[in-house]
């Protein structure tokens, strides 16, 4: 029955309605609005939470989601109508709950979290069906040899496009059209996209060792129980963490559940996809920013329908509308790349735990160097602590030696000490591979005028310009600003006085090539010169032993498995150690431990040389002795004494704007307006580490609170009480991990 568009008039009493009032609902739009808006829905709509609706707002229609009951008392005649989207299932209500939770935790408008869920806008376009032709059963009156060939191919019953069949049968498309005209081929449709292959749980399981078996069994039990549980899979590099969680993935597949595997960086996915295929017989679905729009649509729909059973992706894959998640894995869970620092500021590892809770499924956090937060949770028993203390098979952990740069004289402008050069020479002579690690892109981190001392800085940021010599450019690594290398100092105008200070990977590569002219070497770093393609190529070449030495930034530190790599040289182990930030020690330890862990992963033992000026530092000592747990224990005690996370809570408020006076003023106003509360301290405002970033002045305030305090409630009360100039922007970073 077609429903009339009559609305009850003001005079109609509820009792004698011929036409029931249209249902109404609060609809959430993927926009930065305070909450859901009321809409009316077509009669007979079952307005349940999660229903996708096309929603008019202003001049256009948005994709919206029914979020809850309508709130306002506005009459139907003043409400606009939202129409349910045909052909798509509703968002699962636990996903809606997750959106609300993340919004409230990060102090973000819920619509902005929803926009991360609905990110693939084209996925909701009506599916496009492709026209195809299949054998009809009709025999053509006239059969030529060409027609015969085409029919022979089509006799398998599959549907093909006209050019597809023509090509396969080696006939002209005219022949195929002739067969259509005489009715021998009938029109049908093909889905828009090819189906995803289904991973096979039993394809090629590894024979696990005892420690691996115990860990895998614990995870499998979690998957079977189908309830929320967190496990820290804490295993040394090369202990087989991946093999272990693959067993849990297999169990989820047997139960027909979906699995999400989060990786910190796209650069890690290529090797991982191949490894997954070796275990499960096909590649999983991928989700990251490098996908084409078409691939995004295909993957998004397959995730929603449940056809994509395993998704491997970067942090944004956490917000996909899985039909039925049975397991989440966060690999390299300590990685800072899981923290999204702009737009919605959130930590994907922490939010993954929240998502697992709302999906009632287990989650595995895997790392050789867990975050201190996860370590404390595991040691205290809140998370299951699954340990793999040894490398698999014959492989042993590498020996780490410190090279004391205070005693080893290194010529000015060079960075490879004699012990490191000797070790490289020995490795090359043995036909093995080496990796040199320096966490600095480009040629030199700073360019200085020898005459006046002027340092080349970015136009828009308070950061040095980094020389990229291959490109003959100076670049800002904060905002991407670049300029040619000037011939004169811009400050004192002296000619030819600008010199490169300090090393980047390009400069180390230059020195390396001078010392070892015959070695095959490649650079892997994440900048535009050595973009993702080239980095992937370098990593693949390393894995296949097509190069001898890989020189790289942190992009080479993680996850990779190079069986012939026996020497790792750390050019400057002190980088990033002394900037006074809460996590500097933890981060340095994790990064260097990961880098070291690349050495000796197969039969041949590995050696790690770390060049340092602080051999007595607690981080250096822990790395050299291999005593990880005593490092964690010291760090834990230090944090506990300082009431720092996870023993206390932090939130940063960053004020920014183009008008520096307004920013400074707003910072002061905020500090003054901070409500007094027991157990809460406010620090600042102070200039942020990058006081100027992309032309914006930035001031920071820090909230430090005791563990039990509802920091979000405090922040909400505080920020809503202050009326700030519209020249400034406020960003809230709950649980900050960096302090830039
Ligand atoms: P991790 O993730 O802990 O660094 P991996 O899972 O990458 O360790 O394992 C290191 C290497 O050892 C890989 O090449 C892996 O295939 C191999 N390996 C680990 N466990 C086993 C096993 N039980 N049987 C065969 N090979 C294994
Ligand atoms: Zn800049």
CA torsion 441-443-446-451 (nearest 10°) is 180
Query: Is the distance from CB of 551 to CB of 505 less than 8 angstroms?
Result: yes
Integer Cα distance of 555 and 265 in angstroms: 9
Instruction: Report how far ligand 2's centroid is from the alpha carbon of 113 (Å).
Output: 29
Range 293-312 average pLDDT: 94
Which of 3.40.50.1000, 3.30.1600.10, 3.30.70.600, 3.40.50.261 would CATH assign to domain 648-734?
Answer: 3.30.70.600
| pLDDT of 9 | 36
Q: Ligand 1: which residue has its CA nearest to atom 11?
A: 238
Torsion of CA 424, 429, 434, 440, to 10 degrees: 40
Q: Is the dihedral of CA 440, 333, 339, 676 positive or negative?
A: negative
Query: How much is the pLDDT for 194?
Result: 81
Q: Structural domain boundaries of the chain?
A: 4-118, 130-190, 210-388, 399-440+503-636, 648-734
CA 444, CA 462: separation in Å to the nearest integer? 17
Assign domain 4-118 one CATH number from 3.90.1150.10, 3.30.420.40, 3.40.1440.60, 1.10.540.10.
3.40.1440.60
In the numeric block, the tokens 């059969």 are attached to 143
Measured CA angle at 545 (ends 541, 548), to 5 deg:
95
- For residues 598 and 311, the model is more confident at 311
**pLDDT score for 113:** 96
C-alpha torsion sign, points 674, 680, 684, 688: negative
Q: Where are the beta strands (DSSP E) in 472-597?
A: 473-475, 482-484, 498-501, 521-524, 549-552, 565-570
- Residue with CA closest to ligand 1 atom 25: 206
CB 458 within 8 A of CB 465: yes
Cβ atoms of residues 421 and 508 within 8 Å: no
| Least confident among 188-192, 577-581, 736-740 | 577-581
User: Considering just the CA atoms, what is the radius of gyration of the chain in Å?
Assistant: 30
Strand order in the sheet with 37-40: 37-40, 24-28, 60-68, 52-57, 83-84
Query: Which residue's CA is the nearest one to ligand 1's atom 26?
Result: 206
Q: So what's the pLDDT on residue 19?
A: 55
Highest mean pLDDT among 177-191, 591-605, 709-723: 709-723
Question: Cα of 416 to ligand 2 centre, how many Å?
Answer: 30
Is residue 220 within 8 A of residue 247, CB to CB? The reply is yes
Residue ranges with CB less than 5 Å from ion ligand 2: 458, 460-461, 476, 478-479, 481
Give residue ranges with CB within 6 A of ligand 1.
Answer: 206-209, 212, 235, 237-243, 392, 561
What is the average per-residue pLDDT within 3-31? Answer: 59
CB crowding 325-355: b at 16 or more within 10 Å, else e: bbbbbbbbbbbbbbbbeeebbbbbbbbbbbb
Range name among 12-16, 112-116, 165-169, 368-372 with the lowest pLDDT average? 12-16
Are 299 and 287 contacting, i.e. CB atoms less than 8 angstroms apart? yes
- Asked whether 65 and 26 are in contact (CB, 8 A), the reply is no
What pLDDT is recorded for position 530? 56
For all residues of the chain together, what is the average pLDDT? Answer: 90
* Top-tier CATH class for 210-388: alpha beta
| Ramachandran area for residue 403 (φ above 0: left; ψ -120 to 50: alpha; else beta) | beta
Evaluate whether 597 touches 237 at the Cβ level (below 8 Å).
Answer: yes
Does residue 22 have a pLDDT over 80?
A: no
Ligand 2 centroid to Cα of residue 246, in Å, is 42
Of residues 325 and 343, the one with the higher pLDDT is: 325
Does residue 671 contact residue 684 with C-beta atoms inside 8 Å? yes
- Cα separation, 557 vs 576, in Å, equals 15
Q: Which atom of ligand 1 is nearest to the CA of 206?
A: 24
The 3-state DSSP class for residue 24 equals strand
CB of 214 closer than 8 Å to CB of 239: no
Instruction: Give the model confidence (pLDDT) of 241-273 as tens digits.
Output: 999 999 999 999 999 999 999 999 876 777 899
Total length of the chain: 740
* Inter-CA distances, 532 with 186, 207, 296, 520, 549, Å: 46, 34, 19, 20, 19
Domains 210-388 and 399-440+503-636 fall in the same CATH topology: yes
Q: pLDDT per residue over 429-438, tens digit each? A: 999 999 999 9
Residues 390/393/394/396 CA torsion (nearest 10 deg): -20
Separation of 430 CA from ligand 1 center, angstroms?
24
- Closest to 69 in 3D by CA, of 91, 105, 90, 41: 41
C-alpha closest to that of 245 among 285, 266, 217, 282: 217
Q: How far apart are the first and last CA of the chain?
A: 62
Q: Where are the extended beta strands (E) located within 264-398? A: 285-287, 310-313, 325-331, 339-340, 346-347, 362-367, 384-388
DSSP for residue 441: -
For residue 238, how far is its CA from the centre of ligand 1 (angstroms)?
6
Whether residue 150 is predicted with pLDDT greater than 60 in this model: the reply is yes
- For the segment 222-233, what is each residue's pLDDT rounded down to a tens digit? 999 999 999 999
pLDDT at 251: 98
Strand partners, 550: 435, 522
Which strand ranges, in their side-by-side order, compose the sheet holding 549-552? 399-404, 607-612, 565-570, 433-437, 549-552, 521-524
Rounded distance between C-alpha atoms, residue 555 and residue 595, angstroms:
10
DSSP conformation letters of 154-209: HTT---B-HHHHHHHHT--HHHHHHHHHTTSEEEEEE-SSPPPPPP-TTSS-----
* C-beta of residue 6 within 8 angstroms of C-beta of residue 30: no
Determine which helix (DSSP H) or strand (DSSP E) holds 698, and give its type and residue range. strand 696-706
* Confidence band for 170, pLDDT divided at 50, 70 and 90: very high
The pLDDT confidence band at residue 10, using thresholds 50, 70 and 90, is very low
Torsion from C-alpha of 283, 284, 290, 294, nearest 10 degrees: 100
Q: Which ligand is nearest to the CA of 479?
A: 2
Which residues in 648-678 are b (16+ Cβ under 10 Å) and which e?
A: bbbbbbbbbbeebebbbbbbebbeeebeebe
Cα dihedral across residues 88, 94, 95, 101: positive or negative: positive
Local structure of residue 336 (DSSP, 8 states): G
Q: For residue 662, report the distance from its CA to the centre of ligand 2, in Å.
A: 21
Output the pLDDT for position 238. 86
* Phi, psi (rounded to 5 degrees) for 16: -110, 35
pLDDT of 482 above 50: yes
Number of H-type helices and E-type strands within the chain: 19, 31
> Higher-confidence residue: 7 or 410?
410
Looking at residue 191, what is its pLDDT? Answer: 78
Query: What is the predicted pLDDT for the residue at 36?
Result: 93
* CATH topology classification for 399-440+503-636: Rossmann fold (3.40.50)
Buried b (16+ CB within 10 A) or exposed e, 476-505: bbbbebeeebeeebeeeeeeebbebebbbb
**Which protein residue has the closest C-alpha to ligand 1 atom 9?**
240
Starting from the CA of residue 457, give the closest ligand.
2
Mutate to test the pocket of ligand 1, among 279, 392, 397, 606 (most ligand atoms within 8 A of CB): 392
Cβ proximity of 681 and 704 under 8 Å: yes
Ligand 1 atom index nearest CA of 242: 6
Centre of ligand 2 to C-alpha 258, Å, is 42
- pLDDT band for 6, please (50, 70, 90 cuts): very low
Looking at residues 301-328, what average pLDDT do you find? 95
Contact indicator for 730, 724 with CB cutoff of 8 Å = yes
Mean local confidence (pLDDT), 197-202:
94
Tens-place pLDDT, residues 35-90? 999 999 998 888 899 999 999 999 999 999 999 998 877 666 788 999 999 888 89
Rounded distance between C-alpha atoms, residue 224 and residue 94, angstroms: 20
Counting from 1 in the atom list of ligand 1, the atom nearest the Cα of 236 is: 3
- Model confidence pLDDT, tens digit, residues 691-717: 889 999 999 999 999 999 999 999 999
Residue 247 belongs to what H/E stretch? helix 241-254
- Alpha-carbon distance 239 to 390, whole Å? 6
């Amino acid at each position: 029955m077609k429903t009339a568009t009559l609305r009850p008039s003001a005079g109609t009493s509820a009792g004698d309605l011929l036409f029931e009032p249209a249902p109404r609902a609060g609809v959430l739009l993927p926009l930065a609005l305070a909450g859901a808006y009321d809409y009316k829905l077509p009669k007979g709509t079952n307005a349940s939470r999660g229903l996708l609706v096309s929603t008019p707002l202003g001049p256009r229609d948005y994709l919206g989601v029914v979020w809850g009951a309508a709130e306002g008392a506005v009459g139907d005649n003043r409400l606009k109508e939202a129409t349910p989207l045909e052909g798509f299932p509703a968002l699962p209500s636990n996903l809606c709950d997750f959106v609300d939770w993340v919004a409230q935790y990060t102090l973000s408008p819920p619509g902005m979290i929803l926009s991360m869920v609905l990110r693939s806008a084209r996925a909701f376009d009506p599916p496009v069906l492709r026209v195809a032709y299949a054998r009809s059963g009709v025999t053509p009156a006239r059969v030529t040899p060409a027609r015969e060939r085409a029919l022979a191919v089509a006799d398998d019953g599959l549907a093909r496009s006209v050019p597809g069949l023509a090509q396969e049968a080696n006939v002209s498309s005219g022949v195929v059209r002739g067969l259509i005209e005489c009715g021998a081929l009938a029109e049908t449709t093909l889905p828009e996209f090819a189906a995803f292959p289904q991973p096979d749980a039993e394809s090629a399981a590894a024979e696990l060792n005892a420690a691996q078996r115990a860990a895998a069994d614990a995870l499998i039990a979690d998957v079977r129980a189908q309830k929320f549980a967190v496990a820290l899979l804490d295993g040394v590099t090369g202990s087989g963490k991946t093999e272990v969680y693959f067993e849990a993935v297999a169990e989820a597949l047997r139960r027909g559940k979906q699995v999400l595997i989060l990786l910190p960086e796209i650069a890690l996915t290529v090797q991982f996809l191949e490894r997954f295929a070796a275990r499960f017989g096909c590649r999983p679905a991928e989700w990251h920013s490098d996908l084409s729009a078409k691939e995004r649509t295909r993957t998004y729909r397959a995730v929603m329908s449940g056809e994509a059973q395993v998704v491997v992706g970067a942090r944004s894959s956490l917000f996909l509308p899985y039909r039925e998640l049975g397991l989440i894995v966060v690999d390299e869970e300590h990685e800072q790349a899981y923290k999204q620092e702009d737009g919605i500021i959130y930590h994907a590892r922490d939010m993954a735990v929240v998502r697992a809770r709302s999906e009632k499924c287990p989650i595995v956090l895997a790392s050789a160097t867990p975050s201190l937060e996860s370590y404390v949770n595991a040691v205290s028993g809140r998370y299951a602590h699954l340990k793999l203390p040894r490398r698999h098979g014959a492989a042993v952990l590498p020996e780490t030696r410190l090279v004391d740069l205070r005693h080893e004289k290194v010529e000015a402008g060079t960075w490879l000490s004699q012990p490191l050069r000797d070790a490289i020479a020995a490795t090359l002579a043995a036909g093995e591979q080496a990796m040199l690690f320096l966490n600095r892109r480009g040629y030199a981190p700073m360019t200085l005028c020898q005459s006046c001392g002027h340092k080349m800085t970015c136009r828009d940021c308070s950061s040095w310009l980094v020389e990229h010599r291959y490109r003959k450019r100076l670049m800002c690594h904060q905002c991407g600003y670049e300029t040619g290398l000037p011939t004169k100092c811009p400050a004192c105008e002296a000619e030819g006085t600008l010199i490169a200070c300090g090393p980047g990977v390009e400069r180390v590569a230059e020195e390396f090539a001078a010392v070892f002219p015959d070695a095959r070497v490649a650079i892997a770093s994440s900048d535009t010169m050595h973009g993702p393609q080239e980095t992937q190529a370098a990593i693949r070449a390393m894995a296949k032993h097509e190069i001898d030495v890989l020189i790289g930034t942190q992009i080479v530190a993680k996850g990779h498995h190079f069986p012939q790599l026996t020497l790792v040289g750390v050019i400057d182990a002190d980088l990033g150690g002394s900037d006074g930030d809460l996590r500097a020690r933890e981060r340095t330890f994790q990064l260097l431990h990961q880098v070291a862990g690349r050495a000796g992963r197969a039969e041949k033992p590995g050696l790690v040389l770390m060049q340092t000026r602080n051999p007595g530092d607690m981080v250096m000592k822990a790395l050299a002795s291999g005593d990880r747990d005593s490092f964690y224990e010291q760090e834990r005690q230090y944090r506990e004494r300082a009431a720092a996370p996870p023993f206390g809570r932090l939130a940063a408020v960053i004020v920014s704007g183009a008008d520096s006076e307004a920013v400074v003023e707003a910072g002061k106003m905020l500090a003054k307006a901070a409500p007094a509360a027991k157990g809460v301290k406010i620090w600042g405002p102070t200039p942020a580490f990058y006081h100027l970033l992309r032309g914006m002045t930035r001031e920071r305030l820090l909230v430090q609170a005791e563990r039990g305090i509802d920091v979000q409630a405090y922040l909400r009360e505080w920020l809503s009480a202050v009326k700030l100039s519209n020249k400034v922007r406020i960003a809230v970073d709950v649980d900050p991990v960096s302090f830039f």
